[in-house]
Amino acid sequence: MSASESQACLAHLYTSASFRRLVALEPERALDGYFLTAAERLSITTIDADALERFAQSLEVKRRRRLERAYPALFALDPAVLETLCRRYHELYPRRPDEPVDTDVTQFGMFAEQTLAGGEPFARHAADLARFERLMYALRQRASGADQHADGRGQPATRDAGDRPRRCDGVTVARFHCNVSEIGDALRQGLTPDVRHEEEFIVCGVRDGEWAPRILRVSAAVALVVELCDGERSAADVGAAIEAHFAEQGLGGSVDDIIRRLAHAQILEVADGAVA
């Protein structure tokens, strides 16, 4: 049998506490799922259990530290809850051989958001915090990847005068149910956050040559303008859509001003003459 089969079995042993217990209690049943030779079975079932557990724990600690670096505010929220959440995540999603770290970190954020959204005993803002930090991590990785490949991300393209406003590459609009950006700042500084359960709209992205994401807290109206600037609508179309949304006429001038300010902040790309 190929070495890959025994390596797959060992990887399962290193990453799954339940599989280690099953191998200890019922080795024949546990190993039936692998095409192993008699010698390979003997080699696996005679591994020193204490040494195996220590090695498995060291891998888990390394994995957790990576998650803590990606979600510092979340892990500061409630250490006991996050300890339980991590153990469950490790059991349900054992690390696959050669799995990219980015995949594991993103998957944990999605798992945490879904789990923490269940209400008690979790804080109401915990799920939003998990989503917020996952978004920040994705932006940092995007910036890092762009730097490594030097692909010219964010450089203004040559645009025709008739082009329409569009979001710059990597710009995201997110809506939360609490003041999540302030909560994250406080927790990362070791402070008790002032939690307000009110809608917060965030426009975020990474400037050219920068690594840390920019976070702009904006009104619902500004967030809607950014979302509507999809490269398909003209500035006049965006203004008309805003007037229809708020059932109020005469907002076109204000929308043009918002688009100009967002373009200056490198949130939107606007061709010359696209905004009156």
From 54, 65, 53, 67, select the one nearest 17 (Cα to Cα). Answer: 53
Global pTM?
0.79
Q: What is the pLDDT of residue 276?
A: 57
Each of the 276 residues of the chain gets a pLDDT tens digit; together they read 567 888 889 988 988 888 899 999 999 899 998 999 999 999 999 999 999 999 999 988 999 999 999 999 999 998 888 888 998 998 888 887 778 999 999 999 999 999 999 777 788 899 999 999 999 999 988 877 755 544 444 444 444 434 689 999 889 999 999 999 999 999 999 999 999 999 999 999 887 667 778 889 999 999 999 999 999 999 999 999 999 999 999 999 999 999 999 999 889 998 765 565
Residues 85 and 83: their CA atoms lie apart, in Å, by 5
Q: What is the pLDDT of residue 154?
A: 44
Residues 266 and 156: their CA atoms lie apart, in Å, by 10
Tally of CB atoms within 10 A around 270: 21
Q: What is the pLDDT of residue 201?
A: 96
Q: What is the pLDDT of residue 25?
A: 93
Helix 101-116 crosses helix 126-149 at what angle (to 10 degrees)? 160
- Interacting residues of 51 by C-beta distance below 8 A, sequence separation 6+: none
Q: What is the pLDDT of residue 121?
A: 73
Q: What is the pLDDT of residue 97?
A: 72
Helix 49-70 crosses helix 101-116 at what angle (to 10 degrees)? 80
Kindly list the structural domains of the chain, giving each domain's residue range(s) and its CATH number in brackets, ordered by start: 154-269 (3.90.930.50)
Q: What is the pLDDT of residue 12?
A: 87
Q: What is the pLDDT of residue 275?
A: 65
Tokens matching residue 72: 């510092």
